[in-house]
Structure 1
Amino acid sequence: MKTPDLETASPRRRPPTGWQRLVARLPIFLFGCGLGGVFGKRLLLLHHTGRVSGLDRRVVLEVVEHAPDSGSWVVASGFGPGASWYQNLREQPKTLIQAGTRHFAVTAHFLPPEEGADIMARYASRHPRVARRLCAFLGLPSDGTAAGFRQAGRGIPFVRLQADSSSRLP
């Protein structure tokens, strides 16, 4: 089966609009109020600079993997490489994140499809029901097996956010 070209693949599902967008953006408000800790280690707030506007933008993303010892977080662009935050990071990979109540300076590293396949398989073994629902929501093929999740992972752009040395900010 051919792996989709991540630069040209169109998202299988469109981002939410209207009231669903408002609800989806509620975590940004909670992070802004200093309540990022309520999400534990599952979500982070990513700051990114708009490619055209140059303005600070924010998005809350699920943490797919976190390696506290190396200071890295892996996130996925569920809406494909066309997501604004993903494109903005491609343009300016050095940025800031907030994980819980802590801030970090990070650099984005865009992972190849094979590494994405491994990450998705590990994620599915930790969260099988969520992984099945995620694949269905995004319109990605997966038969619920490790091989199926690996195939789905090849079609999802993954980004490793690596903390810069001594990056913990006040």
Structure 2
Amino acid sequence: MKNILLVIVAISMYSCAPTYLVSKSEFQQIPMGTKKIVVKTEMSSDSLFTLISKSFSREGWVVKSDKGSMQISAEPKSVGSGTALKPFVYIEDKTAYYSGEWGLDQKGQLMMQSMVRANTVAFEPIAFERSGITKNDVAFQGLVILAKTIPGELSYSK
């Protein structure tokens, strides 16, 4: 019992430190409640589709795409701090709309199993909480990093 309490205290102390995958100033510019990243470009939608698909592949994502509906998604991948990101991109009129879902990666699953003896594999839609200490915020920052690989004007949308 004493060891379990020690593990819970250690995990809670570790999880209270903000995680910044982007710079602190970029992090602070993201509005709370944001669910989408919008990238407007001068590229044709077809070129944008190809660029995003290749960008995902270069970074090791397993890409699923549907050029007919101009949608790109990827298999979940760890972005750090026990967090997995499952990104989605929709392209329309030279604009890419990034959104996604977050869940626990293998490390997060192991931590959850050790704490509550349960296996959690569900994914939930990302909504930026602006605390820096949640899996939601870590996943959203991973999405920002993906969106920043595309040349264009980046903005946020709820």
TM-score relative to the length of structure 1:
0.26
TM-score relative to the length of structure 2:
0.27
Structure having greater relative contact order (Cα 8 Å, sep ≥ 6): 2
